[in-house]
């Protein structure tokens, strides 16, 4: 198989960034044999600087860095600028694993614009830039004939976007319903076992399912952003966060969950959008669903999504790992798929 070398720049070396670097090491042979790809890490950025040039380095040497923080590495540069790396290296893919800021989109928004203006594809796990400027970023990417892929930002390993964009091609997606946040689904499942909201919340923390600051999750914003990105991409909309009515599960009375359970039903935090003649209607809210609902069995920290279409009926996918390794695997899949075509 003919081999192609692709340069990567990694923004963010936290849980997901490190998991991606580990995967690059682990999957080197498979990427060459099955996809003809050799992924060459050029630079890794953190908030305080970056490691550059990484091209000649063995990935295992980066991973073996005793501080695991990179800044003690001889190639660490505290004043490294993204512009200089984008200029010096042959364009490939910028991978954004920086923190999500849903209000400003930064730091990812500036990185993404710079990369797309410099001939680099962007693959991102970071919801922030997409939440703030989705339509303009997509236009910039397509105007420059570049890919902007974001599976890792919407549902990590659950291939919600791939199914919506590829498998449902030619259909009209009439509505979407999704359980798109594993933390809240876990909390609701624990409440279904008789726990209060705060007990279930603490359990999610203790098991490492909830992030240190899970406010976006439990207030429903994480679900809302994912719904927005999926709906805009798959249904061709230009929704903004303000167009979605959002209600989370904070301090949800345990009786509501218990009542649903005693009736053989289940309470889920659902993201929903449907086309109406007046325009799309989108919401995030706790909803009671019965056994006939396709997402009834999506339990614990799992996620799932149902597409309602005009010609293929309703299709549901669920499962996939909800952790940094699952998110990193989604990033790797997006990188591979850019070059598949």
Ligand X SMILES: NC(=O)c1ccc[n+]([C@@H]2O[C@H](COP(=O)([O-])OP(=O)(O)OC[C@H]3O[C@@H](n4cnc5c(N)ncnc54)[C@H](OP(=O)(O)O)[C@@H]3O)[C@@H](O)[C@H]2O)c1
Closest residue to ligand X, Cβ-based? 14
In the complex, the smallest distance separating the C-beta of residue 16 from ligand X, rounded to whole angstroms, is 4
Query: Minimum Å distance from CB 247 to ligand X?
Result: 21
**Cα separation of 84 and 82, whole Å?**
5
Cβ proximity to ligand X, 125 vs 252, nearer residue: 125
Nearer to ligand X, 126 or 266 (CB): 126
Q: Which is nearer to ligand X, 96 or 287 (CB)?
A: 96
What 3-state class would DSSP assign to 48?
coil
Grouping H, G, I as helix, E, B as strand and the rest as coil, residue 158 is coil
| Shortest distance in whole angstroms from residue 26 CB to ligand X | 18
Question: Which of these, 131, 39, 119, 1, lies nearest to 332 by C-alpha position?
Answer: 39
Task: Rank residues 233 and 327 by Cβ distance to ligand X and give the closer one.
Answer: 327
| Letter string b/e over residues 176-207, b meaning 16 or more CB atoms within 10 A of that residue's CB | bbbbbbbbbbbbbbbbbeebebeebbebbeee
What is the distance between the alpha carbons of residues 211 and 218, in angstroms, rounded to a whole number? 11
Cβ 19 to ligand X, closest distance in Å? Answer: 8
Q: What are phi and psi of 329, to 5 degrees?
A: -65, -35
Q: How far apart are the C-alpha atoms of 251 and 286, rounded to whole Å? A: 12
- Classify the C-alpha dihedral 80-84-85-86 as positive or negative: positive
Residues in the site for ligand X, rule: CB under 6 A?
11-17, 45-48, 97-100, 107, 125-127, 152, 156, 323-324, 327
Q: Which helix (H) or strand (E) holds 65?
A: none
CB of 272 vs ligand X, minimal distance in Å: 22
Please, which residue, 12 or 271, has the CB nearer to ligand X?
A: 12
Closest contact distance (angstroms) between CB of 153 and ligand X is 6
Closer CB to ligand X, residue 51 or residue 287? Answer: 51
């Amino acid at each position: 198989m003919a081999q192609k070398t692709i340069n990567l720049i990694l923004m963010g070396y936290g849980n997901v960034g490190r998991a991606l670097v580990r995967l690059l090491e682990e999957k080197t042979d498979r990427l060459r044999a099955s996809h003809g790809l050799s992924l060459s890490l050029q630079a890794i950025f953190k908030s305080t600087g970056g490691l550059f040039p990484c091209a000649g380095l063995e990935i295992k040497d980066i991973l073996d860095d005793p501080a695991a923080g990179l800044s003690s590495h001889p190639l660490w540069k505290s004043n490294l600028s993204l512009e200089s790396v984008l200029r010096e290296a042959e364009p490939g893919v910028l991978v954004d694993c920086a923190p999500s800021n849903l209000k400003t989109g930064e730091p990812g928004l500036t990185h993404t614009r710079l990369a797309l203006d410099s001939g680099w594809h962007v693959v991102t796990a970071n919801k922030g830039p997409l939440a703030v400027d989705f339509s303009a970023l997509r236009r910039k990417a397509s105007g420059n004939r570049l890919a902007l892929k974001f599976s890792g930002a919407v549902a990590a390993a659950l291939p919600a976007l791939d199914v919506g964009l590829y498998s449902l091609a030619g259909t009209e997606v009439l509505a979407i319903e999704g359980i798109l946040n594993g933390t809240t689904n876990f909390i609701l499942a624990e409440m279904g076992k008789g726990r209060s909201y705060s007990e279930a919340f603490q359990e999610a923390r203790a098991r490492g399912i909830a992030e240190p600051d899970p406010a976006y999750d439990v207030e429903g914003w994480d679900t809302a952003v994912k719904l927005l990105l999926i709906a805009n991409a798959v249904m061709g909309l230009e929704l903004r966060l303000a167009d979605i009515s959002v209600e989370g599960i904070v301090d949800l009375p345990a009786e509501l969950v218990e009542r649903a359970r005693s009736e053989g039903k289940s309470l889920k935090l659902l993201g929903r959008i449907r086309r109406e003649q007046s325009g799309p209607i989108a919401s995030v809210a706790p909803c009671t669903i019965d056994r006939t609902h396709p997402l009834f069995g999506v339990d614990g920290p799992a996620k799932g999504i149902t597409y309602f279409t005009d010609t293929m009926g309703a299709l549901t996918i669920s499962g996939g790992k909800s952790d940094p390794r699952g998110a990193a695997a989604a990033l790797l899949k997006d990188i591979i798929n850019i070059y598949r075509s």
